[in-house]
Amino acid sequence: MFTGIVTDVGEVIAVHARADNLGRLKIACHYDRAGIADGASIACSGVCLTVVAAGVENDRTWFSVDAAAETLAVTTAGAWRHGTRLNLERALKVGDELGGHIVAGHVDGIAELVGRDDLDHTARLTFRAPVQLLRFIAAKGSVALDGVSLTVNAVEGDRFAVLIIPHTLNVTTFGALRAGDSVNLEVDLMARYTARLIGKA
């Protein structure tokens, strides 16, 4: 479980295809190596992945994760290459501050950035969402985009907009997002469960 509050930006430094339909990714980060155990969960641009190895190389911590064929197919992970920058978040511990909203790290679909308006130190980003997920996205509600907890400012048709504050632009990959880029979208768990309870999911 995560909160959507990014704690580091990592970089893919190796991608290996495996015969068992897994993709092994090696990701460099700024986390303390001593704090990364095999089996730990780390959200990588919103995708919850399990650490299978870790170490230190050139004074920088790295960890490796395996991405299943399904993950590669339904998230942006299939397009990650050497040099791809990823928003990282360690799993929530009991007693940690819940600064964003409850995020599972289970991506629901891919949203496309269709518009970017750079304002004074902020940016308004407009995304196109998959049709089947639109009922879970509401103005003033929460979404996780590439693992970042955000508040929806407006919804119109198949598009929704979020406002990115200066801090978020500086500490996530959002500063570099441009129209046409894809991001991992996870809808609010409360919205999903509410729809299920009333028989609309």
Tell me if residue 50 is catalytic: yes
Tell me if residue 2 is catalytic: yes
Question: Tell me: the pLDDT tens digits for 86-107?
Answer: 999 999 887 777 788 889 999 9
Secondary structure string (H, E, C) spanning 88-127: EEECCCCCCCCCCCCECCCCCEEEEEEEEEECCCCEEEEE
Tell me if residue 41 is catalytic: yes
31 vs 167: CA distance, rounded Å: 20
Give the Cα-Cα-Cα angle 15, 19, 25 (nearest 5 degrees): 20
Q: Which of 40, 91, 104, 106 is catalytic?
A: 106
Q: Which of 50, 91, 104, 195 is catalytic?
A: 50
The domains found in the chain, sorted by start residue, are: 8-90 (2.40.30.20), 109-197 (2.40.30.20)
Flag whether pLDDT at 125 surpasses 90: yes
> Residue 200: which pLDDT band, with cuts at 50, 70 and 90?
low
Q: Which of 151, 179, 194, 201 is catalytic?
A: 151
Question: Tell me: the pLDDT tens digits for 16-58?
Answer: 987 677 899 999 999 999 999 999 999 999 999 999 999 999 8
Tell me if residue 151 is catalytic: yes
Q: How confident is the prediction for the chain on average, in pLDDT?
A: 93
- The H helix count followed by the E strand count for the chain is 3, 12
- The residue whose two tokens read 């103005």 is 139
